[in-house]
Structure 1
Amino acid sequence: MASSQTLSTLFIFSLLSFSYAASGSSKLPKPKAIYLPIRKNETTFQYYTTFESGNPQVPTMIDALIDLGGPSVWFDCTSYVSSSYKRATCGSNRCKKADWSACIDCDSSPIPRCSNNTCGIFAFNHFRQYLTLQELGEDTMIVYSTNGQSVGFSYDVPKFQFSCSLTVEGLTGDHTQGLAGFARTKMSFPSQISSYFKLAKKFALCLPSSSQNGLGDIFIGGGPYYMLPRPEDQSLSLVTTPLVVNPIATNPFFSEGEPSNEYFINVKQIEISGKRVAFSQSLLSIDKNGVGGTKISTMVPYTILQSSIYNRLVKDFVKEAALNNIKRVKSVAPFGACFDSKTAPNTITGPAVPNIDLVLEGNTVRMRLYGANSMVKAKKNVICLAFIDGGTVPTTSIVLGGHQLENYILEFDLTASTLGLSSSLLVWNTSCSHSRLS
């Protein structure tokens, strides 16, 4: 069941869209971009979005986790009822479009999630680490246009493809019913939306650190991006770094020789207070077996580092913190370095701790992590360095997690194969928590 916050937000969206459509022409203009909200679960630290699917007269509201590496969209269909739902049959063009499909049969009466001669696709549950074969179907999705500042018209997206799960066991959060994948596939959430409206093949995320003061953003199709109260279009100030294709797939189901559809970037080095963190540079490159490099993930709460990178980062950070009279205290698992928060005064960008810079490929491109993104409150008067030891032989050396991505604009341009990155919005006295309903 959707949360009361979800219901109220979508109700306001519906009122806005109805009033716009009633006062305008019968044919809506082509949207320049599509908007969806992002919420953060304050207990599980996962990010989820809300959309409507099914017969436009009586749509079902779905809360789905946002997975940058997810190849498709799937959700629990046990209570999903829609007269406009259609399943994909085995051997159909829709089935052929889906990667890793198979033919499934069902002994019960044909209903969503249970039909004979049905195309099934594999979906991966990250939290329970298992694959399920789910029925592939399609239905109408309802989305909203945006001018980068506020929400506009509602639009129907017919024949949106997703798969039906019989259970969402293992998904975190009280409101999530499935998963919205954003990977580089034809079946991903942004790919289907941009293809239908013939929008630019790009999407942007603005992950909120909290949903208590407003929602974060998904923009599909490109900018402008306005982050009130700032009047500037933030899309004009993004710096770009190449998206790297890992030649070996990193998801749990793939064909031999298939490249990864997840998002990798080149981190060239890490600096703390302008001083380089020393570790083997070979860890930052992806080898012929797909091992190494840096991946961006919305499913990992905190950045995970290969052990040698992690140990040196912690050592150097502790040293710099001591130079700033920041007192170290007993560690709180799973974090390796914790400090007395009273010795690191709070600022507009979080605790006053040494800055961490991720130096990226490109002309002087770097992602600066201030205290709000490098530290986390572990308990009363204790803040900890928000990085996790990933062991000595992880597949990926650096996995950038959600906490480090909050309050930045991340624009994924799939045509140019680049990542556009803003500076921390906190520097400009704004954030990814706001309202688009004005």
Structure 2
Amino acid sequence: MASSQTLITLFIFSLLSFSCAATGPPKLPKPKAIHLPIRKHQTTLQYFTTYKSGHTELPTIIDALIDLGSPSVWFDCTSYVSSSYKQTSCGSNKCKKAKGSSSCLTCYSTPRPGCSNNTCGIFVYNPIPNYLSIQELGEDTITVYSTDGAYVWFSYDLPKFQFACVDSVTADRLPGDNTKGLVGLARNEISLPSQISSFFKLAKKFALCLPSSSENGLGDIFIGGGPYYMLPSIEDQSLSLVTTPLVFNPINGPRLLSDGELSYQYFINLKNIEISGKPVTFSPSLLSFDTNGIGGTKISTTSPYTILHSSIYKPLVQDFIKEASLNKIKRVQSVAPFGACFDSKTVPKTITGPAVPNIDLVLEGSSVRMRLYGANSMVEAKKNVICLAFIDGGGQPTTSIVLGGHQLENYVLEFDLTASTLGLSSSLLLQNTSCSHSRVY
């Protein structure tokens, strides 16, 4: 027979259980950070994420291209159905905040998301075909997930999230399979990280971990700050980042969007490039901006490989070939678009990729370097042939150096928008880990 103390305990427990059931599910804790996955499309060499938009009972799943330099989020609304969608009125404060165009949009078809009258229009930029158009600005609820830096935990609704509803012409130009839209990560008020940080009152920072492949797991977008754990390593990557200033280009871009504002894209001060510790010789003026915003070094997630001004590209290739020959690495016929290719059978393999001469990007700051090992400096062009993964950008590019996705893979890059700094980890391959993980949603 149960004791009176046990019966009392059971009675209290039953009251608590009834109370919890009567008041509904417990309130979710305030998220410390938000997580979105990154997958790499091996054909287009672009990076994509997935999120849900619309009424929470029947949301639309959006597969979206990731563009570090784009200022907004947008997707194809041709077949988008949501009872919670609202268009943004022309001339409203929300329209002004989003830098809406001066003209109001009108639609002569059946009203639907993306087709409304007296609506705010914003510039939408697709970076792959370099296509610009004006599309309807709207808002709806999206679903996001919290993280502790290692695992993904709870789902949260973010209401009144602003995005552009685009037409099928714009969306058809997107690369990848079943891609419906684009998420912009630029430093302006309606980019993905800015809206999420503002709504959840998180730190104004986000981090990227771009995967070299999605076969063994997905990469990461962290919004709100660290920790950042890349299992099986137990090191919090946020504690070992080296930082370099983010700098502003005096001219906004793309050029058609230039309106006297500082650029919302991400530039850094690259001071020099070294191969095996030896400086590459080129004019340092190429690393600065002129009065028209030409020059400098930009970070891009949509350029598959780093693109260099010809005056930087040519001496870099020559110096790399020279250092490779000293290491008995055999050069072979080049494979377009690359200028220097080698017999991979003459190159030893290491945990950081082919054992080729290291390339150091010397950045502004106290001993700040981004060291590119073989996994990030070389690419397999065909069987038994690896090539230096840099592209000749010609003699008159808008930006002297565009750091592309291949060079950024398997590094943690933290963009702190308050301090205006870029935090960099060393190559995760040195820790026997990478940016490919299964964090579970």
Task: Please give the TM-score of this superposition, normalised by the length of structure 1.
Answer: 0.93
Counterpart of 1:174 in structure 2 is: 177
Specify which of 427, 433, 436 is matched with residue 424 of structure 1.
427
Write the deviation string for residues 244-294 of structure 1: whole angstroms up to 9, x where unpaired.
Answer: 011111323324422111000001000000011011111111122211110
Counterpart of 1:115 in structure 2 is: 116
Matches within 5 A, 1:219-258: 219-258=222-261
Counterpart of 2:42 in structure 1 is: 42
Write the deviation string for residues 36-60 of structure 1: whole angstroms up to 9, x where unpaired.
Answer: 0000001000001110000001111
The separation in 2 between residues aligned to 1:416 and 1:180, in whole angstroms, is 23
Q: By how many angstroms is 1:208 displaced?
A: 0.1
The separation in 2 between residues aligned to 1:255 and 1:208, in whole angstroms, is 32
Q: By how many angstroms is 1:423 displaced?
A: 0.2
Counterpart of 1:127 in structure 2 is: 128
Aligned residues: 418
Counterpart of 1:106 in structure 2 is: 107
The separation in 2 between residues aligned to 1:255 and 1:211, in whole angstroms, is 36
Which has more radius of gyration?
Answer: 2
With over 3 angstroms needed to count, the CA separation of the structure-2 counterparts of 1:340 and 1:255, relative to structure 1, is closer
The separation in 2 between residues aligned to 1:242 and 1:39, in whole angstroms, is 28
Write the deviation string for residues 390-414 of structure 1: whole angstroms up to 9, x where unpaired.
Answer: 0111111000000000000000000
Range 249-258 or range 356-365, more displaced = 249-258
Structure 2: runs of 5 or more not aligned: 1-20
- Which amino acid is the alignment partner of residue 370 of structure 1? Y
Matches within 5 A, 1:27-426: 27-101=27-101, 102-167=103-168, 168-426=171-429
The separation in 1 between residues aligned to 2:440 and 2:109, in whole angstroms, is 44
The separation in 2 between residues aligned to 1:126 and 1:437, in whole angstroms, is 31
Write the deviation string for residues 46-80 of structure 1: whole angstroms up to 9, x where unpaired.
Answer: 00111000000111110111101100000111111
Q: By how many angstroms is 1:26 displaced?
A: 2.3
Counterpart of 1:14 in structure 2 is: none
Q: By how many angstroms is 1:169 displaced?
A: 1.8
Structure 1: runs of 5 or more not aligned: 1-20
The separation in 1 between residues aligned to 2:121 and 2:315, in whole angstroms, is 46
With over 3 angstroms needed to count, the CA separation of the structure-2 counterparts of 1:107 and 1:379, relative to structure 1, is same
- Which amino acid is the alignment partner of residue 149 of structure 1? A
Q: Secondary structure at the match of 1:357?
A: strand
Q: Secondary structure at the match of 1:142?
A: strand
Range 87-96 or range 148-157, more displaced = 87-96
Write the deviation string for residues 350-385 of structure 1: whole angstroms up to 9, x where unpaired.
Answer: 011000000000000000000000000000000000
The separation in 1 between residues aligned to 2:106 and 2:319, in whole angstroms, is 58
Range 88-97 or range 232-241, more displaced = 88-97
Q: By how many angstroms is 1:199 displaced?
A: 0.3
- Which amino acid is the alignment partner of residue 39 of structure 2? R
Task: Check the 8 A contact 2:251/2:258 in 1, yes or no.
Answer: no
Task: Check the 8 A contact 1:250/1:290 in 2, yes or no.
Answer: no
The separation in 2 between residues aligned to 1:126 and 1:226, in whole angstroms, is 31
The separation in 2 between residues aligned to 1:244 and 1:309, in whole angstroms, is 21
The separation in 1 between residues aligned to 2:128 and 2:408, in whole angstroms, is 21
Q: Percent identity?
A: 75
Q: By how many angstroms is 1:170 displaced?
A: 1.8
Task: Please give the TM-score of this superposition, normalised by the length of structure 2.
Answer: 0.93
Q: By how many angstroms is 1:25 displaced?
A: 5.2
